[in-house]
A and B are shown apart, each in its own frame.
Chain A
Amino acid sequence: MPHNAAIVGGGLTEWGERDATWKDLAQEAGKATFDDVDGIEPADVEGLFVGAVQPERFAFQSHVAPMVAELLGIDVNGMLARTELACASGQAALRYAWLAIAAGQLDVALVLGVEKMNIDREHMPEIQSNMTNVLDREFDGVNGLNGPSYFAQYAQRHMEEHGTTQEQLAMVSAKNKSLAAETDFAHYREHVDVDDVLDSYPIAPPLRLLDCSGITDGAAGVLVVSEEKAAELGVETAAYITGSGQSCMASNSVNNIPSMTTWPQAREASQQAYEQAGIEDPLEEIDVAEVHDCFSISEIIEYEQLGFAEEGEGGQFIEDGRSELDGDVAVNPRGGLLGCGHPLGATGVCQALEVYRQFAGDVSSARQVPDDPETGLIHNLSGSASVHSVMTLARDPQ
């Protein structure tokens, strides 16, 4: 890339069922982000990218990027936009900030992901409607498919074709939820073991309640700057964006997605990013991976498609402890979506912030990836898992 871009800090809100509005969350995360980075004020921000999936449905509000600019007093004179790519909206926002800096258009960008999802519990059918329309509403959502009932079918097929077990699914949830117990902003902070997962209600069999991420309110922000600006700031730690790929294979509805067992789009997107970053052996070269564990089965398929495990061997990968904090690659040290919850637009931003914090050694020691991690990855799938987005990060510029 002509210009390197780096994350130099960020902040977030408490995640959970928050007694707060969309605007409250945006302000909290914006303040936390600026408070975290010395030397950058709202007046320095030239680009603002807001990841948000459904403010129209959950907060009855659109045109949210200028709303954030107003709330944080940012006089944007470069680029501003809101990005919507369902569950990958936060990473999409980050990707546009990176591209704008790489192209030499900006030196300082704020990326903020915000989602308000919990309206009062009596309105759960409306919340579910808002989740269901992420699929092709006319032909897939209409059948009552939502997150659990859609991903349950990937689990069923993966179990049938590859012998993946209910226990292996549960191991993913137990790992991530227990790590989230060490994460101060996480929605779910209770240690969970495999039996807890197996004993939870099979809400969309074979998936059980604890195989699923939650409905979470939250926001997260990062500041992304050019390498020159990072040098000027004299930052101690940065997370440079070294590669970024996406793939959707012209698919969205059930008939057209390439497989109901696996995600070749994730393989394609990660290969694009690895090639840009010069990564040949991801398992060897990536220290920390924040992957999209919206459901336990997702992380298992992602081990395979991101190049950590052979096709069909994702279940064995978790069983052998290879994705633990001290394993071959530390996967989801903050506790992932399963533990932190999944405020849609905020998730990708939070993953990138976690990689930055892991580089900086700025997390609780109970979830710190050992031996000074220097390379990281974030991955999001979105919608019907039709789209996969992968970004690689490193402590040092390329």
Chain B
Amino acid sequence: MTRPDHTGPKDADAPTDDLLRTDGGEHSDPPRGTITLPDEVELPRLLDFYDLQDPEHTRIHEFYDNLRAGSLTTTQCTDCDAIHFPPRVVCPECLSDDLTYTDLPHEGTLTSFTEVRGTAAIGMSDDPPFVVGVVDLGPVRLSARVDNATYDELETGDAVQLKVMDIDGPTEQDRVFYRFEPL
């Protein structure tokens, strides 16, 4: 394949008037129309940080079901005993897909933290300042928002406990997520 030649007519006798006219002269105004766009769009599914948590949308729905019922859990491999976080459907240690949900401690240690004071993402842009940190639960380490505390009040090594958050909108689903707060 060669690229189409867009360099214009090479034949000196070819009619070029219509192609090359620059005066705009003899054309009458073209017809005009209007394209109407919505003033706002709802939060699009893919800009919602929280996944749909039901069995029709995710195979780790049990993690969310357990959290909704008040337990923080994650997957453990029945073949090699590895504990994963985030929860999985395949064990990354041995590729087994025979996994069960195991309870995680609801109390842990804040190993690092900061405070988000700049602009935050869509869905959390009214939240700053807020504390986000890393919590060591023993079997796993996870990042989490830390509520009811400011940066200046916290120190690394502080004990924190689980807090279950119900997510209000924009779906009909009863969604949940976890945060922590000082013990």
Residues of A within 8 A of B (CB): 73, 75, 124-129, 131-132, 136-146, 148-149, 152-154, 156-157, 160, 201-207, 250, 253-256, 260
Contacts and interface: CB of A to CB of B under 8 A. Distances in A.
B144 A203 contact: no
Given A143-B132, A152-B114, A156-B114, A128 B142 contact: no
A131 B119 CA distance: 12
B70 interface: no
A205 B122 contact: no
Contacts of A145: 132, 143
Contact of B143 (A75, A139, A156, A206): A139
B110 to A, nearest CB: 10
Interface stretch (B11-19, B26-34, B45-53, B95-103): B45-53
Given A153-B134, A204-B118, A205-B151, A253 B124 contact: no
Given A132-B121, A145-B132, A146-B121, A153 B116 contact: no
Nearest to A141: B49
Contacts of A146: 116, 120-121
A316 B25 CA distance: 73
A256 to B, nearest CB: 8
B140 interface: yes
A153 B113 contact: yes
B118 to A, nearest CB: 5
Contact of A204 (B49, B85, B115): B115
Contacts of B92: 250
Contacts of B145: 143-144
Nearest to A151: B114
A156 B156 contact: yes
B117 interface: yes
A153 B121 contact: no
5 contacts: A125-B119, A126-B47, A126-B121, A138-B50, A154-B112
A128 B141 contact: no
Interface in B1-58: 2-3, 47, 49-51
Contacts, number: 114
A387 to B, nearest CB: 16
B171 interface: no
A132 B85 CA distance: 19
B116 A204 contact: yes
B121 A254 contact: no
A137 B133 CA distance: 15
A160 B154 CA distance: 14
Contacts of A143: 132, 143-145
Interface residues of B, number: 38
Given A149-B132, A205-B151, A254-B134, A144 B116 contact: yes
Given A142-B177, A260-B134, A204 B144 contact: no
B111 A260 contact: yes
B86 interface: yes
Nearest to A207: B114
Given A138-B51, A250-B92, A129 B116 contact: no
A362 B88 CA distance: 52
Contacts of B116: 144, 146, 148-149, 204
Closest 4 A/B residue pairs (Cβ)? A153-B112, A152-B114, A125-B125, A129-B121
A325 to B, nearest CB: 32
A213 to B, nearest CB: 13
A137 B123 CA distance: 13
A134 to B, nearest CB: 12
A142 B111 contact: no
Given A142-B49, A156-B112, 17 more contacts: A73-B3, A125-B121, A125-B125, A129-B47, A132-B121, A138-B50, A139-B86, A144-B120, A146-B121, A148-B116, A149-B132, A152-B114, A153-B113, A156-B113, A201-B117, A254-B141, A260-B134
A260 B127 contact: no
